[in-house]
Amino acid sequence: MATPSFSIILSLLLIIGVGISQSEARAFFVFGDSLVDSGNNNYLATTARADSPPYGIDYPTRRATGRFSNGYNIPDIISQQIGSSESPLPYLSPSLTGQRLLVGANFASAGIGILNDTGVQFINIIRMPQQLDYFRQYQRRVSGLIGEASTQRLVNQALVLMTLGGNDFVNNYFLVPNSARSRQFSIPDYVPFLIREYRKILMTVYNLGGRRVIVTGTGPLGCVPAELAQRSRNGECSPELQQAAALFNPQLMQMLQGLNRELGSNVFIAANTQQMHTNFITNPQAYGFITSKVACCGQGPYNGLGLCTPLSNLCPNRDLYAFWDPFHPSEKANKIIVQQIMSGTTEFMNPMNLSTILAMDSQA
């Protein structure tokens, strides 16, 4: 349930509105994996790419952009909601120069995780230490444009989105039977290890100037079409992966709350993406989907095997599918997730949603 102060702020939002003009729009920085990569991997020699059809089939240009979506991804939709002139460009894009730098930057790279040994099979991807190095480099570049003091202010006032963790299970611990990490840790021991490593990453973001950081949990890992195809007999979610998500997400929330107490400020905002996904996975019809088990694009059981390619099965109406490919939500599902990020109760966004943050910060 929403707290009284939360309800009051929400009422104020309804009265004054939260739309902000582009002149007031804050910079937006994105870190993480394929759920939020907008095309950095296009510039890398890696198999973790989404730069060919049918990716992007519903994007305005109808072309594959490197987003792991049929259309917009989560950073795109958040950018629209916060009044940005455009979604932050991939940091490796040659177009990210001049005034476009002031919009922010997307450092995310498909395949990466909290741990540096996650996604080794993808070879050349931008792991978290490199994403953070690029953030430092970005700040040096912007300082050359507007000066150090203005750059620090731009970064301090920016919105940051951090999406990590799923690959540390799917593309590391559970990737193959008897994986190195599964021999080293049981899941109840692996999760606290991940949380400790994640905490270091988040403190680095804070030390680099991040002051409003939305941190998403993992979705229900065992319910994605890829896992159903490999592990499910009758369409039931994989219990091992579900256990991993059920342990990881509450411990992530506790860690974020502890960091905020230490810092004396609500720097880190926990987005309960597991619950957001679970709602439309358990009751897809309520959200206008015909299925949350079968991917729109893919092959094999649940269209969950292999990659989404021009040779894959492709559904005619992407809005009817919760999942676009074996791992990634459809644009419509992404819009539902962002709706909860913007205006969800404390069940979904803790300690507050993004609309509340925008309203509070506009008064600061």
Given 93, 325, 330, 355, the catalytic residue = 325
- Residue 278: both structure tokens together: 């679970």
C-alpha 42/C-alpha 320 separation (Å) is 28
- Reply yes or no on whether 328 is catalytic: yes
- Reply yes or no on whether 7 is catalytic: no
Side-chain-side CA neighbours of 202 within 13 Å: the count stands at 31
Write down the residue that tokens 């582009």 correspond to: 22
- Residue 303: both structure tokens together: 């269209």
Pairing of strands 104-106, 268-271: unpaired
- Reply yes or no on whether 362 is catalytic: no
Given 168, 328, 343, 355, the catalytic residue = 328
Which residue, among 70, 64, 38, has the nearest Cα to 51 in the 3D structure?
Answer: 64
Q: Using CB atoms within 10 A of its CB, is residue 215 exposed (0-12), middle (13-18) or buried (19+)? A: buried
DSSP codes, 8-34: HHHHHHHHH-----GGGPPPEEEEEST
C-alpha 335/C-alpha 134 separation (Å) is 28
Query: Is the dihedral angle over the CA atoms 320, 326, 331, 333 positive or is it negative?
Result: positive
Write down the residue that tokens 């439309």 correspond to: 280
Given 33, 34, 277, 355, the catalytic residue = 34
Residues belonging to the active site = 34, 325, 328
